[in-house]
Structure 1
Amino acid sequence: MFCNQCEQTAKGTGCTTIGVCGKQPEVSALQDLTVYALRGLALVALEARKKGIVDPAIDHYGAKALFTTLTNVNFDPARFQTYINEIVKHRQALAVRAGVSFSTGPASFQPAATLDALGAQAEIAALTADKSDPDIVSLKQTLLYGMKGLAAYADHAAVLGQTDPEVFAFLFKGLAAGYDGVQRDLGQWVELALECGKTNLRAMELLDAGNTGTYGHPVPTQVPLGHRKNKCILVSGHDLRDLHELLKQTEGKGIDIYTHGEMLPTHGYPELKKYPHFYGHFGTAWQNQHKEFPAFPGAILFTTNCIQKPQDSYKDRVFTTGLVGWPGLVHCENYDFSAVIRKALEMPGFTDDAPGKNVMVGFGRNTVMSVAGQVIDAVKSGAIRHFFLVGGCDGAKPGRNYYTEFVEKTPKDTVVLTLACGKFRFFDKELGDIGGIPRLLDVGQCNDAYSAIQIAVALAGAFECGVNDLPLSLVLSWYEQKAVVILLTLLALGIKDIRLGPSLPAFITPNVLNFLVQNYNIKPITTPDEDLKAILG
């Protein structure tokens, strides 16, 4: 086993015995083999495209299958066996339609019949099997992890009917790279990684259109962190459609729906918040499940990703749906959440009222730009000196208290925008306001990075300057592959001076890091005091 795709990888280099995330060697091998099978599908799909053959169902399936290899999504070996077999089935059918054949490499791969034999086959797909120049290997891995994040956003968008064949075409292009017979130098691998970032901007635009077109633009909304007396279901992950289907199916059944993790911002969507039983938020970020879930007295549903190994104390009430998988858990197919509802009705639920504190969500681009004039005047008058975008992933590795301290120490004439689960380091802090504009603005999920980018672009337009000339600093935390592709998107847009932490990716070699520093002035975080002084002078 060797896996280095997340920020918490063992010893900062790679997990070799068991994943820090809980991933077993068998699952790691099957994920590698899934990617290898997808490379074969990509080679055939690219040849088919040359002949005008594009199959939307296969395009989407490829993105789904790649998404399932992302950190904390699927830990179920049996489901990976299904994915691998279906990928090869799609590849063979497409090859017949396109009249193409391959005699070697991933496009000729035939999966073994058993899980043990598949695990043995995975040796050809292991990261350690690539003996290329270390810097090229670094860029290949950067591209792969970026594509995993891109696949996630493309799938999120496709679920809501928003697709672009060019997004899937790039996924196939990126997956085929290294197996397509093209010899690429270091610069060409850099270009491919940046193309991944550029393509991801389009994928996030599609996702934004799907979310806002289906559920409306988020509006500022107070979300209770307490609870009320009633049966209850907790929803984690990211998927708005799963949440909406659950809200419809629980209507009138005496069950309140609570969000967990990155589902918090969904309370701001008009078409979701209209359900009176969509009540509040429970807990914080994904890595605190083991501490928080035992205290939740209802059923728990995971959508898209962020699952950890369920503890015995609550395992019998955890359900998965979509791409999420854990061996032994009940998996809900086709938006049928009846099993989740039955379990919630069996459970005691909350037996008292405890409203607790409220937090504000709903500061997407429409909300922020609706007060753009006020914001611009505040900047020109000096009332707002600087903007900080402090966002990204949360995690358990030491050093993430930096983000809490950083936000707490931002001066009172500055505004903090935040998104993704990194916000849980400070989401309930009372920072006050500047002329009625809250100093802490929750832009949404990591899926809403497009909204944050559009806010920056719109402000740059209003001030007639480039984004890099704005009084705006990006202080980002990363954990998994969605964060990798968002960083590639920012680099593709030419955004510089990004501070990144709490540690730099294990798959980035010193030479590649030096390239990023020289061309984009990427900086590792230091201390809140030092970084604030450097930014503000």
Structure 2
Amino acid sequence: MLSHLNTFFPRQSNFRIQYNFSKMFCFQCEQTMDGKGCTVKGKCGKSAEVSALQDLLVAQLKHLNSIVHHAKENDVKPVTTYSDHFNLEGLFATLTNVNFDEKRFQKYLEKGEKLIEFYLKNGGEKLKSVLHENGIQTADFSYSKPLKDLIKTGKEYQLDLTEEKRPVIFTKELIMYGLKGGAAYLDHARLLGYEDTSLYHYLSESLQKLSLPVSEFSLESLLEFALQTGNWNLSCMELLNRANTESYGHPEITTVSTTPVDGKCILVSGHDLRDLKLLLEQTEGKGVNVYTHGEMLPGNAYPELKKYSHLKGNYGGAWQDQVKEFAKFPGPILMTTNCLIPPAKNYSKRVFTRSSVGFSNLKHIENDDFSEIIKMAKKQKGFKNTKKLALKDIIVGFGMNQTLALADLIIDAVKEGAIKHFFLIGGCDGAEKERNYFEKLAEKTPKDTVILTLACGKYRFNKKDLGVIEFKGNKIPRVLDVGQCNDAYSAIQIALALANAFDTDVNSLPLSFAVSWFEQKAVSILLTLLHLGIKNIFLGPALPAFLEPSVLDVLVKLFGIRPIGDVDEDLKLMLKK
């Protein structure tokens, strides 16, 4: 795909951003300060100290996997899967809005140190000699240090922003963020008992490769690497899709209530369906109702989850509104994954965290025993006098299986002109006013078009009455909720099935992509779309700060990526397909 890429690189952009930082540097998410990077405190809420510990953990993971790489090449036994699992846990903890707890990062670093010691001990002098030949450090460095010393060391691993190195360094970061997103999906699948050693191997080898100096890379090779990572992430999402559907059944069209009912209650936020299942099992018959929040909304559509009568529906909207919504929720809250905002005092004692999620003053559930949160729920006031409420329901459950079951109807509707165009409008949500673009776009799409949506960006319009398309006595909803962000896999399969039905490719379909991004899972999905050769994606609300101008030039030329602009003008362009 990139065989002619080198012809683009001689032309360098004259645009240069000036970077000034003292305490930290992070630009891995969309909301980064001034579109450049956070330098004093993360806009996500993380401190400079946590940022330093995250930088140190990522550096340790690169170091560990460099050792693993050479251990495998030199047949050092045993090569343990513990390091593969640690890669997932460690990377997941560094995603935006996941973990803010300094002591948890200290524990991760200590765990990584033990794995490094394990390989060095088993490899003996032979492995140490090979590592020395390749410039890989084997001298003792103890991570069992006071936090202040670890933080000081972590600051040494901030990005090198030397101007001439930026294109390569920034593109390495693009790949790293893609790996972080895929690692999160693999971790979810692992917890359900689904693992793939080839996917673990790619992650380990990629971390090793990213540890190499800038001089080892060309921009062409890095962009090839980025697209390979997109292919890898496609497989990660496929594995998680299989894990979820084989564990809980295929999502079904489901009407989800957003009106609470009287009674004690627990709110579940994040993405982890396994935690939702465990909580439903442990609350059954105990007089405690369960509600989903944010990206857990699609959980209501899975047969093995919706069968619980005390799963009462969805409360609230996307992650950025949680400070207001959690304060009003009359029970405890379980954060299974991102996105966690540093909690306000008026509800922090009611928030519990799981897996890679952490914050210093929140209770963390280490095992699968939810008795403490259930006990708290019984002590809280719960919902009262809800009969007077009548909030709008949400229809979910249009995953791959369900939507493809309707394929003949949809294809006939296209052939006979009842459906003129498809849109994929989805991705991450956030607080910026510019994200209203996606709401306005959905509202302005013609009434003979269908919108596929996924992830928390759907909350911009999933309670709006955008109508149905009446065709041969059937009513096809204009908004089809495909699921969580990882269900981009389902959306891709739906698009490929449509292309196959019309004997064409995805780019030739009357299908337009308007993608809202926020964090690293969105980066991995974007790389997957590019790997598949999908072009003319409208991306926003802002382009990633880690896309250096010369690299962005290439992506624009090859794939037609464009920033969102005026809704009406963009819609005209989309409808030209």
- TM-score scaled to structure 2, two decimals? 0.91
CA distance in 2, matches of 1:125, 1:165: 30
Residue of structure 1 aligned with 2:152, choices 115, 120, 129: 120
Counterpart CA distance in 1 for 2:117 and 2:503 is 53
> Which of the numbers 12, 21, 25 marks the counterpart of 1:2?
25
Q: 1:424 to 1:389 in 2, by over 3 A?
A: same
Structure 1's unaligned 5+ residue stretches are none
**Residue in 2 aligned with 1:298?**
331
Is the Cα–Cα contact under 8 Å of residues 66 and 148 in structure 1 kept in the other structure? yes
* Cross-structure match for 1:174: 206
Residues 423 and 513 in structure 2, CA contact (< 8 A), matched pair in contact too: yes
User: Residues 449, 385 of structure 1: CA spacing in aligned structure 2 closer, same or farther, 3 A cutoff?
Assistant: same
Q: 1:130 to 1:141 in 2, by over 3 A?
A: farther
1:367 equivalent in alignment to 2:402: yes
Output the CA distance in 2 between the equivalents of 1:93 and 1:20: 38
Give the stretch that moved more between structures: 460-469 or 69-78.
460-469
2:10 aligns with none
CA 1:302–1:196 in structure 2 vs 1: closer, same or farther (change >3 Å)? same
8 Å CA contact 1:258–1:279 kept in 2: the answer is: yes
- The answer on 1:484 being equivalent to 2:527 is no
Does structure 2 conserve the Cα–Cα contact (< 8 Å) formed by 1:37 and 1:106? no
Task: Decide whether the 8 Å contact of 2:160 with 2:169 is kept in 1.
Answer: no
**1:350–1:41 distance in 2 versus 1, CA, 3 Å:** same
Q: Is the 8 A contact 1:2 1:128 kept in 2?
A: no
Which residue, 179, 187, 191 being the options, matches 1:147?
179
Counterpart of 2:569? 530
Which residue, out of 415, 428, 432, partners 1:393? Answer: 428
Q: Secondary structure at 2:268's aligned position in 1?
A: strand
C-alpha change, 1:204 and 1:106, in structure 2 (3 Å) is farther
Partner of 1:461: 500
Which secondary structure state, in structure 2, belongs to the residue aligned with residue 20 of structure 1?
Answer: coil
Provide the residue aligned with 1:451 in structure 2.
490
Alignment of 1:90-489 (within 5 A): 90-99=115-124, 100-101=127-128, 102-103=131-132, 105=136, 108=139, 109-111=141-143, 113-128=145-160, 133-180=165-212, 183-353=216-386, 354-434=389-469, 435=471, 436-489=475-528
Residues 23-55 of structure 1 show CA distances to partners (whole Å, capped at 9, x for unaligned) of 000000000000001001110121233245542
1:127-178 C-alpha deviation (Å, 9 max, x unpaired): 1367762111120110111111111111111111111112122212221224
Q: CA deviation at 1:105?
A: 4.8
Residue identity in the other structure for 2:489: Y
Over 3 Å counting, the alpha-carbon distance change for 1:284 and 1:131 in structure 2 is same
Q: Cα offset for 1:430?
A: 0.9
Match of 1:39 among 62, 66, 80: 62
Residue equivalent to 2:559: 520
Any idea what SS the aligned residue of 1:400 has?
Answer: helix
Secondary structure of the equivalent of 1:319?
A: strand
Indicate if the aligned counterparts of 2:88 and 2:186 stay in contact, CA closer than 8 A: yes
**1:290: Cα distance to partner?**
1.2
Query: Which letter does structure 1 place at the counterpart of 2:198?
Result: E
Deviations 1:33-82 (A, max 9, x none): 00001001110121233245542232122111111000000000000000
Code of the aligned partner of 1:392: G
Deviates more, 1:86-95 or 1:114-123: 86-95
Report the Cα distance in structure 2 between the residues aligned to 1:313 and 1:530, rounded to whole angstroms: 44
Instruction: Classify 1:184/1:383 alpha carbon distance in 2 versus 1 (closer, same or farther; 3 Å).
Output: same
Shift of 1:328: 1.3
Q: Is 207-216 or 450-459 further displaced after alignment?
A: 450-459
Report deviation, 1:345: 0.5
Paired residue type of 1:274: K
Task: Note if contact 2:455-2:483 (Cα within 8 Å) is conserved in structure 1.
Answer: yes
Tell me, yes or no, if the aligned pair for 1:43 and 1:107 is still in contact at 8 Å.
Answer: no
Q: Is the 8 A contact 1:234 1:301 kept in 2?
A: yes
Q: Distance in 2 between matches of 1:247 and 1:202?
A: 29
In structure 2, list runs of 5 or more residues that go unmatched. Answer: 1-23
Which residue number in structure 1 is paired with residue 98 of structure 2?
A: 73
> Distance between the aligned counterparts of 2:137 and 2:163, measured in 1?
17
Question: Counterparts in 2 of 1:13-52, with a 5 A limit?
Answer: 13-51=36-74
Q: CA deviation at 1:110?
A: 3.7
In the other structure, the counterpart of 1:509 is 548
Q: Which has the larger radius of gyration?
A: 2
Instruction: State the alpha-carbon separation in 1 of the partners of residues 162 and 562 from structure 2.
Output: 29
The answer to whether the Cα contact below 8 Å between 1:224 and 1:355 also exists between their aligned partners in 2 is no
Query: How far is 1:536 from its partner?
Result: 1.0
Q: 2:62, 2:210 within 8 Å by CA — same for their partners in 1?
A: no
- The alpha-carbon deviation at position 391 of structure 1 amounts to 0.7
Contact 1:41–1:107 (CA<8 Å) still a contact in 2? Answer: no
Amino acid at match of 1:171: L
Greater mean alpha carbon deviation, residues 87-96 or residues 3-12:
87-96
In 2 relative to 1, CA 76–130 (structure 1 residues): closer, same or farther, beyond 3 Å?
Answer: farther
Shift of 1:351: 1.0
- 1:84-132 CA distance string (max 9 Å, x none): 1101211221233344224555665542511000011113321136776
CA 107–471 in structure 1, closer or farther in 2 if over 3 Å, else same: farther
Contact 1:287–1:395 under 8 Å retained in 2: yes
Shift of 1:476: 0.2
Judged with a 3 Å threshold, the aligned counterparts in structure 2 of structure 1 residues 507 and 394 are, in CA distance, closer, same or farther, namely: same
Deviates more, 1:109-118 or 1:430-439: 109-118
Give the SS at the match of 2:433.
coil
Q: In the alignment, is the contact (CA less than 8 A) between 2:332 and 2:377 conserved in 1?
A: yes
The whole-number CA distance in structure 2 between the counterparts of 1:57 and 1:272 is 31
Contact in 2 for aligned 1:130/1:137 (Cα 8 Å): no
Q: Say what the alpha-carbon RMSD is for the aligned residues.
A: 1.5
CA distance in 1, matches of 2:544, 2:510: 27
In structure 1, distance between residues paired with 2:563 and 2:487: 24
Q: Deviations over 1:312-357 (max 9, x none)?
A: 1111111111110000111111111111111111001001233522
Identity level (%): 52
Mapped contact 1:400–1:502 kept (Cα < 8 A):
yes
> Alignment partner of 2:216: what SS?
coil
